[in-house]
Amino acid sequence: MPEKSQARRKLPRWKKRLFSLITLLLALVVIETFSFFAIEVLMTSMDQVRLERRTIAATGSGSKQSGTVVHPYLGWVHDPNTNNVEFDGRTIPINEFGFVDDGPSLPKRAPGRVVIGIAGGSVAWQFSVSGEAAFRSALKQSPKFQGKEIVIVRLAIGAHKQPQQLFALNYLLSLGAEFDYLVNIDGFNEVALAYTDNASVDTFYAYPYGWAARSVNLMDPQKSALAFQLLETRGSRQQWAQQVNSNSLFQLSPTVNLIWKLRDRQQFAAIVKLNESLRDARAKLGKGYLQTGPTTNPQEEAKLFSEMVRLWKRCSIQLNGTCNANGIRYLHFLQPNQYVSNSKPMNESEFEIATLGSPSAPEFAAAVTKGYPLLIQEGGDLPNHGVDFHDLTMLFAQTESAIYVDSCCHFNKSGNSMLADAIAEAILARNPRTD
């Protein structure tokens, strides 16, 4: 009798399998639910985790990185694998050459088309976006531009300074780009950034801004073992993100995302520790040539500013020569800046924004006060070398309304429109190359 009862109570195999499957599914639901809330409550959000992983998979760095990469000729450019740039109500992609531009970097001349390159730093780039409509409108007032396609090519990158503009033009020309005009808007970065960054960390003044920091993860012979470990760890972190991204089911699973995030935190912590070790090694051994470059920075401030401005002047002369050799009309503009004496009347609100808005403001003011008189002086000699040079430092001298939007150098839309009118006027003052 007991044997028959046991036989009757014995579940069929399919019921056992169904029960096991239901138990597994319930366990998965519980685990996935727990993982989802762990991410949402204790960390960030599922969407943010996915975005961060995609960025790490593409670039090797987290979403908080600057989105720039070291470039063999230009110092650095933007990484096309990072997000687009939002500015002045527009979304502008990063093209394959690392410039923030919604057009190609290798334009071609053609009948009925005028190709205008815009070079410089962030002021030049912002002008090419915020002042673009006003610039096109001003040019089209002339019969010489009416009915023609005006192609704006953005060679400018924020914080670039000479000789990066010179190298950018030559790099693109070597790849087949063709221009009718090159508009170079610069001056501030050449004295302010070289003074506040390069000189302050004993990096050669002609090197790109922030080079000592940008080159940290490059292979320095003095610290090659640590640098290799750092690169290896970063590569492992990127590979782990790519593996998860390669499976669409994994991307949707909160548990997989939680596991990825926890391991990524470990890898990031290891990277931070290796960076600290590199900094300690650098402190003991001193900076290597990779970070400093030639040790010829003048110790005297006056001589340093003189050398920085001479570099700026020589680069403009070289740009003019390159443009002349390629049938390009070159125009050079010294950008306005709020720290130039008597260059802009300001009310209290604009004064606070334009001169007190950041801890760097005093350094910028000192750099402009010491460097801009030399820029104006040396710029005045550029026409003697055939350069079509225009000093725009007093462009806003009669403008009562607000122009400056920060304590560095940038303008609002009204300021960029005024800059557009001034540049267009200079272009129209002489017959364009396309006649």
Strand-strand pairing, 113-120 and 329-334: unpaired
Separation between Cα atoms, residue 339 and residue 374, nearest integer Å: 14
The residue among 25 and 222 whose pLDDT is bigger is 25
Residue 220 pLDDT:
57
Lowest-confidence pick of 64-78, 157-171, 234-248 = 234-248
State the pLDDT confidence band at 64, using cuts at 50, 70 and 90: very low
For the segment 324-334, the average pLDDT, to the nearest whole number, is 98
Backbone angles phi, psi at 332, to 5 degrees: -115, 130
Separation between Cα atoms, residue 102 and residue 60, nearest integer Å: 25
Separation between Cα atoms, residue 336 and residue 397, nearest integer Å: 10
State the pLDDT confidence band at 259, using cuts at 50, 70 and 90: confident
**Token duo for residue 199:** 């000189």
In sequence order, which ranges of 10-130 are alpha helices (DSSP H)? 13-37, 46-59, 122-130
Note the Cα 215 to chain centre separation in Å: 16
The neighbour count for residue 222, using CB atoms within 10 Å, is 16
For the segment 257-264, the average pLDDT, to the nearest whole number, is 76
State the pLDDT confidence band at 162, using cuts at 50, 70 and 90: very high
State the pLDDT confidence band at 218, using cuts at 50, 70 and 90: low
For the segment 209-222, the average pLDDT, to the nearest whole number, is 71
Q: What is the CA radius of gyration of the chain?
A: 28
Lowest-confidence pick of 233-237, 307-311, 370-374 = 233-237
Residue 273 pLDDT:
77
Separation between Cα atoms, residue 162 and residue 148, nearest integer Å: 32
Q: Express the helix, strand and coil content of the chain in percent, nearest 5 each.
A: 55, 10, 35
The residue among 58 and 104 whose pLDDT is bigger is 104
CA angle at 168 for the pair 166 and 173, rounded to the nearest 5° = 100
**Token duo for residue 257:** 């995302």
pLDDT greater than 80 at residue 77: yes
Residue 222 pLDDT:
54
Q: Name the burial class of residue 351, with classes exposed (0-12), middle (13-18) and buried (19+) by CB atoms within 10 angstroms of its CB.
A: middle
Largest CA distance in the chain: 118
Residue 35 pLDDT:
67
pTM, 2 dp: 0.77
In a 13 Å sphere around the CA of 386, the CA atoms on its Cβ side amount to 12
In sequence order, which ranges of 38-96 are alpha helices (DSSP H)? 46-59
Are 161 and 121 in contact by the 8 Å Cβ rule? The answer is: yes
For the segment 379-400, the average pLDDT, to the nearest whole number, is 98
Strand-strand pairing, 388-391 and 181-186: unpaired
Highest mean pLDDT among 65-69, 213-217, 236-240, 329-333: 329-333
Residue 280 pLDDT:
66
For the segment 125-154, the average pLDDT, to the nearest whole number, is 97
CA 261 vs CA 49, 64, 174, 198, 273: distances in Å:
7, 15, 44, 37, 18
Residue 175 pLDDT:
98
State the pLDDT confidence band at 68, using cuts at 50, 70 and 90: confident
Are 308 and 300 in contact by the 8 Å Cβ rule? The answer is: no
Of the candidates 115, 129, 260, the one whose C-alpha atom is nearest the C-alpha of residue 181 is 115
pLDDT greater than 70 at residue 302: yes
Backbone angles phi, psi at 105, to 5 degrees: -90, -5
Kindly state the percentage of the chain with pLDDT values over 70.
81
Locate the domains of the chain by residue range. Answer: 68-212+295-428, 221-287
Q: Name the burial class of residue 50, with classes exposed (0-12), middle (13-18) and buried (19+) by CB atoms within 10 angstroms of its CB.
A: middle
For the segment 318-331, the average pLDDT, to the nearest whole number, is 98
Kindly state the percentage of the chain with pLDDT values over 90.
57
In a 13 Å sphere around the CA of 425, the CA atoms on its Cβ side amount to 10
Strand partners, 332: 184, 389
For the segment 228-240, the average pLDDT, to the nearest whole number, is 74
Note the Cα 324 to chain centre separation in Å: 29
**Token duo for residue 148:** 């023609």
Backbone angles phi, psi at 108, to 5 degrees: -125, 140
Are 193 and 123 in contact by the 8 Å Cβ rule? The answer is: no
The residue among 401 and 2 whose pLDDT is bigger is 401
Residue 254 pLDDT:
77
Q: Which helix (H) or strand (E) holds 137?
A: helix 132-139
State the pLDDT confidence band at 435, using cuts at 50, 70 and 90: very low
For the segment 119-135, the average pLDDT, to the nearest whole number, is 98
Q: What is the mean pLDDT of the chain?
A: 86
Separation between Cα atoms, residue 291 and residue 204, nearest integer Å: 9
State the pLDDT confidence band at 434, using cuts at 50, 70 and 90: very low
To the question of domain 68-212+295-428 being in CATH 3.40.50.1110, the answer is yes
